[in-house]
Structure 1
Amino acid sequence: AARSTGLRNLPLHDTAQNQVWLEIVQLALDLLAWMPMLALTGQARLWEPRRLRFRLFSAAAQLVTTGRRRLLRLACHWPWTVEITTALERLMLLPNPG
């Protein structure tokens, strides 16, 4: 019996495409790991990835271009808008790595 490697479960057919997809997944996991430490405060820092996805990553918002600027306009009624704006402000205060 051949040993199953799970390669057939990847979403794309080409090996190079799957390598790119896996790099993107790894980047997303890194962001999930680092974001609470760098951007979130209080109880939000302890949220599990599932809760982060629901509360922060699925927020109702619009990306608006005005002049030469892009603005993220968050819905006022979203219960976690304050956490999102605070996190974005904290990230903007971080020094540029390079």
Structure 2
Amino acid sequence: MSRYAPSSDLKEALDSSPEANTEDDKTEEDMPMPKNYLWLTIASCFCPAYPVNIVALVFSIMSLNSYNDGDIEGARRLGRNAKWVAVASIIIGLVIIGISCVVHFTRK
């Protein structure tokens, strides 16, 4: 045994140095929360395309739950699905409103 053997205190100090923490060691707290588009899905619930609205709302809530469980990539994917289903719901709702207005105002 050499008389200059490193003590455990020295090793702990070197392990906790800033150089030891690389970008690959990012924790969940470092990752920003992906968008779940909850506000958009709630707004789409006011359009008359109800089954599609509910699917968008479910995707949005599943995105929030996935983030809370630590699945960042799943939360991002579900949030993106919620956004596109909500946009489709709004477009379908506007088409339904437009058709109903045309039918209502063109009757004699």
TM-score (structure 2 length as normaliser): 0.28
- Compare the two structures and name the one with the higher strand fraction: 1
Larger radius of gyration: 2
- Compare the two structures and name the one with the higher helix fraction: 2
Q: Higher relative contact order at CA 8 Å, sep ≥6: structure 1 or structure 2?
A: 2
